[in-house]
Amino acid sequence: MIIGIPKEIKPAENRVGMTPSGVLELTKAGHTVYVQSGAGVGTDFFDEDYIGAGAQILPTIEDVYATAEMIIKVKEPIEPEYKLIKENQLLFTYFHFASCEALTNAMIEQKAICLSYETVETPDRRLPLLIPMSEVAGRMATQEGAKYLERTYRGRGILMGGVPGVPPARVLVIGGGVVGTQAAKIAAGMGADVTIMDLNLERLRYLDDTMPANVHTQVGNEMRIREAIQENDLIIGAVLIPGAKAPKLITRDMLPTMRQGTVLVDVAIDQGGCFETSKPTTHDDPTYIIDDVIHYTVANMPGAVPFTSTLALTNATLPYAMQLANKGWVKACNENSALKLGLNIVKGEVVYRGVSEAFDLPYVPVEAVLQKEAVEI
Ligand SMILES: NC(=O)C1=CN([C@@H]2O[C@H](COP(=O)(O)OP(=O)(O)OC[C@H]3O[C@@H](n4cnc5c(N)ncnc54)[C@H](O)[C@@H]3O)[C@@H](O)[C@H]2O)C=CC1
Ligand SMILES: CC(=O)C(=O)O
Ligand SMILES: [Mg+2]
C-alpha cells in the first residue's frame, strides 16, 4: 500500500504520525511510505532518519495527500487540509468528530474513509489508540494545573504538596479512567489531597485498592460535584463516553461558588469539554479566566511533549496500521472488531452512532457498509 505521513499543521502540534522505526517496519513489509519533508522535526526526527527507514520524502503536504492511499497522522484534519483529502482515501488519525460539526460535514463531503484512533475499541472495552495519549494528557493535566495554581498565573497560590505545618492542595479528578488515573497518580506523588469521582463503582473499587493513601474515591453526581468544587483547588475533567459529546458536569452557574484562583483543566475538551464554560485553546495561549476561575482547555495536550507522545502513539498504532496496509481496510476491519469500531465516516456515510447522534445525521450500520464493499471488491 502507498502510505503518506504529512506534517501536522495544527498550531503548536509537534507530534508526527509515525516514528522512523515504525516506518521501517512498514517498508520492510513491502509498503511504500512517503513522508512530507520536515514532518518529524518537532519530535527531533529528520528527513535522513526517514530515508534511512526506507521512506521517500515529498516536498509539500499537497504531494503527500495526492499520492497516498492511506494517510497516517496525529490530529484531526483542519480546514486547510479538508480539500486535500481524496475520495476513497483512508485516513487513520484522531478525529473527535462529535466536537466539530464542520469537520464532520467536510469528511462526509470528501467521501474519505475515516478511521478514528479514539474509537478503536477492543472487546474488553479498552481504547488502545487513545490510551497512550490519555496517559500523557493525564500526567500533564496535573503538571499544568500545578503551574496555573501559582499566583503569577492568578491561581490560588497554593503548593501541591504543602509543607510541614501547612496543608497540601486539594485536587478533584472527575472521571477515573486512563486520564483520571494518571492525573491522580501524579497529584498524589506531589503530595496533594486527591479525590477521584466516577459513576462506575467497580472502577472506584479498583482505584481504592491500587491508589496511594492520599487518593480517595467518590461516586460523582450533581450534588456531590456542587459541594466538592467549593473546596478543591485544582479540578481535572477526565470523563468520556466513547465517540460522543462529553456531558457538562460543571455548569456556568457553579463558577461563582468556587474560590478565587481555582484551576479547571478540561482534558475532555476534545470531545466538547465537560465544563459548560470550556472552549478549546492552544498551547500558544492555553488559559482564560471566567469569574476568577482559570480554565486550561488545550485539545492537543500531548503535542507539547512530542518526544514522549510520538513514540507512545507509534507503539500503539503500528500493529493496526500494519493490518490496514497488509489487508486493506475492508478485510482488516472485517477481521478485527476493534479496528471496525474505529470506522466513523465511510464514503459519505456516518457509521458511528455517537457521531450521528451529535449532529442528528443519518446513521448507517458499519456492517452494512463493509458488506457492500466486500461485494464490490
Ligand atoms: N485534551 C487532550 O489533549 C486529550 C484529551 N483526551 C480526552 O480525555 C478524555 C478521557 O479519556 P480517557 O481517560 O482515556 O477515557 P476513559 O474511558 O479511560 O475514562 C473515562 C471515565 O469517565 C467516566 N465517566 C463517564 N461519564 C461520567 C460522569 N458523568 N461522571 C463521572 N465519570 C464519568 C467513565 O466511567 C470512565 O471511567 C477523553 O475525552 C479523551 O479524548 C485524551 C488525550 C488527550
Ligand atoms: C487524544 C488527542 O486528542 C490528542 O492526543 O491530541
Ligand atoms: Mg485532543
209 and 176 in a common domain: yes
**How much distance in Å is there from the Cα of 35 to the middle of ligand 2?**
21
Q: Report the sign of the C-alpha dihedral through residues 177, 346, 17, 70, in that order.
A: positive
**Residue 31: active-site member:** no
Please state which of the ranges 8-12, 255-259, 286-290 shows the lowest mean pLDDT.
Answer: 8-12
* Residue 131: CB atoms within 10 Å: 16
Q: Say what the pLDDT of residue 26 is.
A: 98
Q: What is the mean pLDDT of residues 182-192?
A: 98
Pocket of ligand 1 (CB under 6 A): 118, 130, 133-134, 137, 174-180, 197-200, 203, 220, 238-241, 247, 249, 267-271, 299-302
Q: In this structure, are residues 312 and 178 in contact, taking their beta carbons and an 8 Å threshold?
A: no
Domain count, the chain: 2
Query: Is residue 327 pLDDT above 80, yes or no?
Result: yes
Joined grid coordinates for residue 144: 499544568
Tell me the residue type at 228.
Answer: A
CB of 240 within 6 A of ligand 2: the answer is no
Q: Cα angle at 337 between 331 and 343, to 5 degrees?
A: 75
Indicate whether 235 and 203 sit together in one domain: yes
Q: State the pLDDT at residue 377.
A: 63
Question: 297 with 316, same domain?
Answer: no
pTM score over 0.90: yes
Shared domain for 345 and 264, answered yes or no, is no
Cell of 105: 460535514
Angle at 327 between CA 322 and CA 332, to 5 degrees: 85
How close is the Cα of 27 to the center of ligand 1, in Å?
35
pLDDT confidence of residue 23: 98
**27 exposed, middle or buried (CB, 10 Å; 0-12, 13-18, 19+)?**
middle
Determine the structural domain holding residue 222 and report its residue range: 133-304
Ligand 2 pocket mutation, candidates 133, 309, 313, criterion most atoms within 8 A of CB: 133
What pLDDT was estimated at residue 243?
Answer: 86
Catalytic residue check, 63 = no
Do the domain assignments include residue 319? yes
Q: Is 311 buried (19+), middle (13-18) or exposed (0-12) by CB count in 10 A?
A: middle
What pLDDT is recorded for position 103? Answer: 98
Cell of 169: 492542595
Q: Are residues 221 and 240 in the same domain?
A: yes
Give the pLDDT mean for 114-137. 97
Q: Which atom of ligand 2 is nearest to the CA of 13?
A: 6
Arithmetic mean of pLDDT, 274-296: 97
Question: Is residue 107 domain-resident?
Answer: yes
Query: Domain end: 250, 277, 304, which one?
Result: 304
- Please tell me whether residue 59 adopts helix, strand or coil conformation: coil
Give the ligand with the smallest distance to the CA of 220.
1
Residue 41, pLDDT > 70, answer yes
Give domain status of residue 329, yes or no: yes
302 lines ligand 2 (CB under 6 A): yes
Residue 175: what pLDDT?
Answer: 98
Cα separation values, 99 from 9, 175, 272, 280, 286, Å: 19, 19, 5, 10, 18
- pLDDT per residue over 65-105, tens digit each? 999 999 999 999 999 999 999 999 999 999 999 999 999 99
Asked whether residue 153 is assigned to any structural domain, the reply reads yes
Residue 370 Rama label (left phi>0; alpha psi -120 to 50; beta): alpha
Task: Specify whether 51 is located in the same domain as 100.
Answer: yes
Q: How far is the CA of 38 from the centre of ligand 3 (A)?
A: 22
Residues 139 and 78 in one domain: no
**Do 304 and 335 contact (CB within 8 A), yes or no?**
no
Q: Are residues 153 and 252 in the same domain?
A: yes
122 is a domain residue = no
Decide which of 272, 304, 336 is a domain's last residue.
Answer: 304
Q: Check if the beta carbon of residue 171 is closer than 8 Å to that of residue 232.
A: yes
pLDDT, mean of residues 151-165: 98
Beta bridge partners, 197, equal: 174, 218
Instruction: Provide, rounded to the nearest whole percent, the portion of the chain with pLDDT above 90.
Output: 97
Q: Are residues 141 and 83 in the same domain?
A: no
Q: Atom 5 of ligand 2 has which residue's CA nearest to it?
A: 133
Tell me which residue has cell 497512550.
Answer: 132
Question: How remote is the CA of residue 146 from the centroid of ligand 1, in Å?
Answer: 20
- The pLDDT value given to residue 37: 98
Residue 164 belongs to a domain:
yes
Residue 119 within any structural domain of the chain: no
The four Cα atoms 121, 96, 134, 92 give a dihedral, to 10 degrees, of: 60
- Gap from CA of 272 to ligand 2 centroid (Å): 13
Q: Over the stretch 223-281, which tens digit does the pLDDT of each residue have?
A: 999 999 999 999 999 999 988 999 999 999 999 999 999 999 999 999 999 999 999 99
213 in the same domain as 184:
yes
Q: Which of 96, 198, 266, 295 is catalytic?
A: 96
Q: Which of 304, 331, 347 is the C-terminal boundary of a domain? A: 304
Nearest-angstrom CA–CA distance, 239 and 269: 10
Per-residue pLDDT, averaged over 274-297, amounts to 97
Residues 61 and 152 in one domain: no
* Spatial strand order in the sheet of 70-72: 56-58, 32-36, 2-5, 70-72, 90-93, 113-116, 343-346, 349-350
For residue 216, give the CATH number of its domain: 3.40.50.720
Predicted confidence at residue 376, as pLDDT, reads 74
Please check whether residues 299 and 312 belong to one and the same domain: no
pLDDT in tens, 328-371: 999 999 999 999 999 999 999 999 999 999 999 999 999 999 99
- Tell me the β-bridge partners of 296: 265, 287
Q: Which ligand is nearest to the CA of 242?
A: 1
- The SS3 call for residue 115 is strand
Q: What is the pLDDT of residue 110?
A: 98
Q: Is there a domain that residue 89 lies in?
A: yes
Q: Spot the catalytic one: 193, 198, 233, 270.
A: 270
